[in-house]
């Protein structure tokens, strides 16, 4: 807005700490993680310097060169060259470079310098560089480059002090533009070599720790074994650690509900509060611990630098089903939610690989499905121990996640068959240094997730729950009616009608009905079931699991879980697919195939399970 | 010798990157990433399935490259 704000863009190679620096300066909470391609959009924030100067700061996707390959890198290039719609080129470019990897990062600095705009170089990760005994002669580097050079540590409070001081002072002079393109571009590496020889001393090319860990993590046999164990333990932990907390919250809400019930007069308001709010919302909120445990592990993995290793190990396998190692991280984020997962595919350069990843991402079990699974598993799967250490409930959960993954592989394979092309698909993926996750970052990440969940809960899920309560309560039964009151309500009619479609899958009318709000937000299925059963009088506030166990066969429960594993994703996911692929056709394909797969898989599950029951 | 044929752990230096076809974007990107004449490279790890992809160390950076990508890079093995 204000014409006076100095506009500063943060650029650099991927994973050099631009976003960490952005967050440090602006107090922002943009996503920081230890792999290339985290930031995929232009983000902006404000920062006021000690002298009162207002700066507008832009965080941009990382890029290796101006020869932009992928959609996210294109954004960076457009912004820097002043071609981004509605935005002039920035007043000052802060080029961020990883001080532990200058051989790669300095080349981009030189490329940026050639734009002929004011540039400051921030040598980031100076803490890690010092730990590794890397010595950089900053004054000499500054002299040779002809631009100001400052040291920063983006993950430490006050770590950007030198940079702040610099931008608060006089504007750095613009580096001379060099316009001859061809030869000097190839020359950049020669210049980098000279710069390094004159200004940097490195005792070792790589961190010893990385080499030692990679010997195991990337070992053809142990590497895969470690990957399997890590993934399996995460799912066991989600169940083992989340469940007791869920029960505690459930009990708490039951107690509150009982108190509310005792203090409210009989009537629609009491029914709304007890059945709708405590019954519906209370049940969903109980699953927050499971979701947080899952996120805890995802954040840990993201920050450690292990994810690109997993992508390396799985690349060949994923390639055989029409995906790429690069799909691994977007797909893993889809376990949290398909929406960031689908947006994360922007870092996949190959259009076919990207589309395939987008189409299968919703098959990854997102955290919104966790409440549904947890509820059904708790109600129908006995708490056995298998082989002494694994619990059966955890195993079933693992199997459901595995079903999604196998489904994705099958779908990817089919896409590959249909979409035959001979062109080559590149991997070209950088593996970062390992880093110790900081408890504070993890805590902030979890807090962020918890508040998103609570916002959803008090927004869309609450609204849908109230609607579900209303349609299950009204209209009341006509005078002299004999059946249960709920059969005469709108919900009763709709449910019975839907049951024609879903009866072959073993769904009763209550379940069939709950699938509608689930399309807006998955967790709502739980709230809706809780409400419908509570209004119908089959359940007290916390007894949903019992109500289900009494009304529902194991075969139906399994079938419902399978339905949720494959069924068309929520509306917001479809909207994101439309936005990212600019095509309604892809939305239709994605919805259509998932509906068919889910229907057939549930049908088979139900019919087969019935034979054994 | 091609980088894709370099034994694991053997030190070598890059000679050049060849375009697999005209205006090959993968080759161009490899050059941008530092695969240029005289740069020391090493294969540090090999993928578990079909010995693909390769993990290449160049400078302080580790890149995962598929065999087809690594085949564009010609290397000279240093006399041991
Ligand atoms: N030790 C150390 N780690 C840092 C520093 N700055 C960033 N990191 C870590 O480096 C990783 C990458 O940081 P990001 O801020 O996400 O990097 P980015 O440049 O925004 O990456 P892209 O968005 O993918 O281009 C994270 O794991 C950070 O915690 C630093 O100064 N010191
Ligand atoms: Mg970033």
A11 or A521, which is more confident: A11
Strands B61-65 and B52-58: what pairing? antiparallel
Ligand 1 pocket, residue A151 CB under 6 Å: no
Q: Are the beta carbons of B60 and A205 separated by less than 8 Å?
A: yes
- Residue A544 pLDDT more than 90? no
Distance CA B29, CA A36 (A): 15
Query: CB contact, 8 Å: B45 with chain A?
Result: yes
For the CA of A16, the nearest atom of ligand 1: 19
- Residue A229 pLDDT more than 70? yes
- Residue A39 pLDDT more than 70? yes
Contacts of A313 in chain B (CB under 8 A): 47-48
Q: Which ligand is nearest to the CA of A436?
A: 1
Ligand 1 pocket, residue A154 CB under 6 Å: yes
pLDDT computed for residue A182 by the predictor: 47
Confidence of residue A538 (pLDDT cuts 50, 70, 90): low
Confidence of residue A185 (pLDDT cuts 50, 70, 90): low
Query: CB contact, 8 Å: B8 with chain A?
Result: no
Confidence of residue A337 (pLDDT cuts 50, 70, 90): confident
- Each residue's pLDDT tens digit, A138-157: 999 999 999 999 999 999 99
Distance CA B71, CA A144 (A): 36
Provide, rounded to the nearest whole percent, the portion of chain A with pLDDT above 90: 41
Query: CB contact, 8 Å: A316 with chain B?
Result: yes
C-alpha distances in angstroms, A80 versus A7, A69, A116, A117, A175?
11, 16, 11, 9, 15
CATH code for the domain in which residue B8 is found: 2.30.30.90
Q: Name the nearest CA neighbour of A64 among B41, B3, B25.
A: B25
pLDDT computed for residue A525 by the predictor: 84
Q: Say which residues have a Cβ less than 8 Å from residue A316's Cβ, sequence separation at least 6.
A: B47, B48, B49, B50, B52, B53
Note whether A370 and A287 are within 8 A (CB): yes
- Residue A540 pLDDT more than 70? no
- Residue A586 pLDDT more than 60? yes
Q: Are the beta carbons of A308 and B28 separated by less than 8 Å?
A: no
Ligand 1 pocket, residue A303 CB under 6 Å: yes
Q: Name the nearest CA neighbour of A5 among A57, A47, A52, A54.
A: A54
pLDDT computed for residue A58 by the predictor: 94
Note whether A99 and A125 are within 8 A (CB): yes
Q: Are the beta carbons of B33 and A431 separated by less than 8 Å?
A: no
Q: Which of A205-219, A251-265, A279-293, A419-433 has the highest mean pLDDT?
A: A205-219
CA A203-A208-A209 angle, to 5 degrees, is 145
CA A433-B45-A357 angle, to 5 degrees, is 75
CA B54-B57-B62 angle, to 5 degrees, is 80
pLDDT computed for residue A537 by the predictor: 65
- Residue A558 pLDDT more than 70? yes
A488 or A172, which is more confident: A488
Buried b / exposed e across A187-208, counting CB within 10 Å, b at 16+? ebbeebbebbeebbebeebbbe
- Residue A120 pLDDT more than 80? yes
Distance CA A166, CA A121 (A): 11
For the CA of A22, the nearest atom of ligand 1: 15
Tell me which of A113-117, A168-172, A225-229, B75-79 is least confident: A168-172
Tell me which of A156-160, A360-364, A392-396 is least confident: A392-396
> Which pair of tokens denotes residue A164?
């702040």
Note whether A125 and A102 are within 8 A (CB): no
- Residue A1 pLDDT more than 80? no
Q: Say which residues have a Cβ less than 8 Å from residue A17's Cβ, sequence separation at least 6.
A: A32, A96, A98, A124, A125, A152, A154, A155
Confidence of residue A260 (pLDDT cuts 50, 70, 90): confident
Q: Name the nearest CA neighbour of B32 among A192, A187, A64, A182.
A: A64
Q: Are the beta carbons of A430 and B63 separated by less than 8 Å?
A: yes
Is the confidence metric ipTM above 0.90 for this complex? yes
Query: Nearest CA of chain B to the CA of A64: how many Å?
Result: 7
Tell me which of A280-284, A326-330, B37-41, B69-73 is least confident: A280-284
Note whether B45 and A218 are within 8 A (CB): yes
Q: Looking at residues B6-17, what average pLDDT do you find?
A: 93
- Each residue's pLDDT tens digit, A460-509: 778 887 887 888 777 877 777 776 777 788 888 888 888 899 999 999 88
Element (H, E) at B64: strand B61-65
For the CA of A441, the nearest atom of ligand 1: 29
Note whether A311 and A328 are within 8 A (CB): yes
Residue to substitute from B22, B48, B73, interface A, most A β-carbons within 10 A: B48
Q: Mutation test of ligand 1: which of A95, A154, A304, A437 has the most ligand atoms closer than 8 Å to its C-beta? A: A154
- Residue A175 pLDDT more than 80? no
Q: Are the beta carbons of A316 and B47 separated by less than 8 Å?
A: yes
- Each residue's pLDDT tens digit, A292-328: 888 899 899 999 999 999 999 999 999 999 899 999 9
- Residue A2 pLDDT more than 50? no
Confidence of residue A173 (pLDDT cuts 50, 70, 90): low
Q: Name the nearest CA neighbour of A238 among A200, A288, A202.
A: A288
Tell me which of A188-197, A290-299, A426-435, A582-591 is least confident: A290-299
Tell me which of A48-62, A252-266, A359-373 is least confident: A252-266
Q: Tally A–B CB contacts below 8 A.
A: 108
Query: Nearest CA of chain A to the CA of B38: how many Å?
Result: 10
> Which pair of tokens denotes residue A405?
């993954």
Q: Are the beta carbons of A214 and B45 separated by less than 8 Å?
A: yes
Q: Looking at residues A600-605, what average pLDDT do you find?
A: 95
Distance CA A555, CA A576 (A): 34
Ligand 1 pocket, residue A33 CB under 6 Å: yes
Residues with CB under 5 A from ligand 2 (ion): A 18-19, 38-39
pLDDT computed for residue A172 by the predictor: 60
Ligand 1 pocket, residue A122 CB under 6 Å: no
pLDDT computed for residue A183 by the predictor: 47
> Which pair of tokens denotes residue A242?
């989340």
Q: Say which residues have a Cβ less than 8 Å from residue A27's Cβ, sequence separation at least 6.
A: A45
> Which pair of tokens denotes residue A375?
């509820």
Ligand 1 pocket, residue A128 CB under 6 Å: yes
Q: Looking at the 3D structure of chain B, how many domains does it have?
A: 1
Query: CB contact, 8 Å: A75 with chain B?
Result: no
Q: Are the beta carbons of B64 and A186 separated by less than 8 Å?
A: no
- Each residue's pLDDT tens digit, A410-424: 999 998 888 777 677
Q: Looking at residues A3-7, what average pLDDT do you find?
A: 74
Q: A564 CA distance to ligand 2 centroid (A)? A: 33
Confidence of residue B52 (pLDDT cuts 50, 70, 90): confident
pLDDT computed for residue A271 by the predictor: 77
C-alpha distances in angstroms, B30 versus A114, A427, A613, B58?
21, 11, 59, 11
Domain with B13, as residue range(s), is 3-77
pLDDT computed for residue A349 by the predictor: 80
Confidence of residue A541 (pLDDT cuts 50, 70, 90): very low
């Amino acid at each position: 807005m204000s014409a006076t704000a100095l506009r500063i863009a943060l650029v650099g190679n991927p994973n050099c700490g631009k976003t960490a620096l952005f967050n440090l300066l602006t107090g922002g909470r943009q996503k920081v993680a230890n792999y290339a391609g985290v930031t995929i959009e232009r983000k902006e924030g404000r920062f006021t310097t000690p002298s009162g100067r207002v700066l507008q700061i832009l965080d941009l996707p990382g890029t290796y060169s101006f020869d932009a390959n992928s959609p996210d890198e294109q954004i960076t290039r457009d912004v820097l060259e002043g071609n981004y719609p509605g935005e002039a080129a920035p007043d000052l470019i802060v080029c961020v470079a990883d001080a532990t990897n200058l051989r790669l990062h300095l080349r981009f600095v030189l490329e940026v310098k050639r734009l002929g705009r004011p540039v400051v170089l921030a040598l980031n990760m100076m803490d890690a560089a010092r730990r590794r005994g890397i010595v950089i002669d900053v004054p000499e580097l500054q002299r040779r480059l002809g631009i100001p050079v400052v040291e920063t540590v983006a993950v430490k409070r006050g770590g950007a002090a030198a940079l702040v001081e610099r931008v608060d002072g006089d504007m750095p002079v613009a580096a001379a533009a060099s316009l001859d393109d061809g030869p000097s571009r190839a020359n950049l590496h020669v210049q980098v070599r000279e710069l390094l020889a004159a200004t940097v001393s490195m005792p070792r090319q790589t961190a010893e720790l990385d080499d030692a860990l990679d010997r195991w993590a990337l070992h053809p046999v142990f590497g895969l074994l470690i990957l399997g164990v890590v993934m399996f333990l995460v799912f066991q932990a989600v169940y083992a650690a989340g469940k007791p907390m869920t029960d505690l919250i459930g009990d708490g809400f039951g107690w509150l509900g009982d108190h509310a019930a005792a203090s409210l007069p009989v009537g629609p308001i009491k029914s709304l509060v007890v059945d709708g709010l405590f019954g519906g919302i209370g049940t969903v909120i109980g699953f927050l611990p499971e979701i947080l445990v899952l996120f805890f592990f995802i954040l840990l993995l993201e920050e450690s630098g292990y994810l690109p290793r997993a992508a390396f190990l799985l690349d060949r396998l994923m390639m055989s089903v029409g995906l790429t190692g690069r799909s691994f991280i977007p797909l893993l984020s889809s376990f949290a939610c398909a929406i960031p997962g689908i947006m994360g595919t922007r870092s996949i350069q190959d259009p076919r690989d990207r589309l395939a990843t987008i189409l299968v991402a919703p098959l990854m079990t997102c955290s919104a499905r966790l409440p549904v699974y947890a509820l059904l598993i708790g109600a129908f799967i006995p708490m056995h121990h298998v082989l002494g250490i694994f619990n059966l409930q955890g195993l079933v959960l693992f199997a459901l996640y595995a079903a999604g993954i196998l489904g994705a592989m099958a779908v990817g394979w089919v896409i590959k068959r249909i979409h035959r092309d001979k062109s080559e698909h590149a991997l070209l993926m950088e593996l970062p240094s390992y880093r110790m996750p900081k408890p504070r970052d993890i805590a902030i990440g979890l807090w962020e997730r918890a508040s998103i969940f609570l916002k959803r809960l008090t927004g869309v899920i609450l609204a849908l729950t109230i609607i579900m309560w209303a349609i299950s309560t009204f209209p009341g039964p006509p005078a002299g009616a004999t059946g249960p009151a709920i059969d005469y309500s709108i919900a009763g009619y709709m449910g019975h009608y839907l049951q024609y479609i879903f009866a072959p899958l073993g769904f009763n009318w209550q379940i069939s009905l709950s699938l509608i709000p689930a399309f807006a937000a998955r967790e709502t299925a739980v709230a809706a079931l809780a409400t419908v059963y509570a209004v119908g009088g089959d359940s007290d506030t916390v007894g949903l699991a019992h109500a289900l166990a009494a009304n529902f066969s194991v075969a139906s429960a399994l079938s419902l879980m399978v339905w949720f594993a494959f069924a068309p994703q929520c509306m917001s996911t479809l909207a994101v697919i439309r936005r990212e692929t600019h095509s309604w056709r892809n939305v239709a394909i994605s919805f259509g195939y998932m509906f068919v797969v889910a229907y057939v898989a549930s049908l088979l599950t139900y019919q087969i399970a019935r034979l054994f029951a | 010798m091609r980088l894709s044929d370099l034994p694991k752990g053997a030190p070598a230096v890059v000679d050049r990157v060849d375009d697999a076809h005209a205006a090959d974007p993968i080759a161009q990107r490899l050059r941008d990433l530092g695969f240029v004449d005289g740069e020391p490279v090493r294969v540090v790890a090999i993928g578990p399935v079909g010995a693909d992809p390769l993990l290449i160390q160049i400078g302080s950076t580790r890149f995962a490259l598929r065999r087809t990508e690594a085949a564009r890079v010609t290397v000279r093995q240093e006399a041991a």
